[in-house]
Amino acid sequence: MLENDLLIFCVRSVHRYLASYVKLGIYPMRHETTLESMGTERTDSRLAALGQTIRQHREAQHLSQDRLAKMINTNQAYICRVENAQVNPGITTIFEIADALDIPVSDLMEF
């Protein structure tokens, strides 16, 4: 019985942890790679170009970072970090951004 109680306690603790982040609009399960863990100048310049392209398309459609974030179920801070090349968004996130902006993924990759 003690093992069951411990398991229930752990599950409830994780649930409360995740629920508190979701309530704040922060999604801790979204994968991102920080630039510190990546590396090359070539990659850094491509991420900067990607972020700039996302910003241009977002602004052309008169969308705020917050609105775009809500469209892809993330938060404004994450969109800001993507646009400022502070994180390496996963391919799924890039697909979601392209879909939210109603543009082909290839439009985001022209640099």
pLDDT of residue 89: 93
Average pLDDT over residues 37-64: 89
The structure tokens 């705020």 sit at 64
Helix axis angle for 76-83 and 41-60, nearest 10°, is 120
Fold adopted by 31-108: 434 Repressor (Amino-terminal Domain) (1.10.260)
Calculate mean pLDDT across residues 10-30.
58
Predicted structure pTM score: 0.66
Q: Count CB neighbours of 61 within 10 A.
A: 13
Question: What are the start-end ranges of the H helices in the chain?
Answer: 2-23, 41-60, 65-71, 76-83, 91-101, 105-108
Phi, psi of 38 (to 5 degrees): -100, -90
Q: Give the residue-averaged pLDDT of 85-102.
A: 95
pLDDT of residue 40: 76
Dihedral sign of CA atoms 73, 65, 52, 87 in order: negative
How confident is the model over 39-52, as pLDDT tens digits? 578 888 999 999 99
Q: Percent of the chain scored above 90 by pLDDT?
A: 56
Give the residue extent of every domain in the chain: 1-29, 31-108
Rounded mean pLDDT of the chain?
81
47 and 35 Cβ atoms separated by less than 8 Å = yes
Mean pLDDT, to the nearest integer, of 94-108? 96
Supply the pLDDT for residue 29.
47
3-state secondary structure of 84: coil
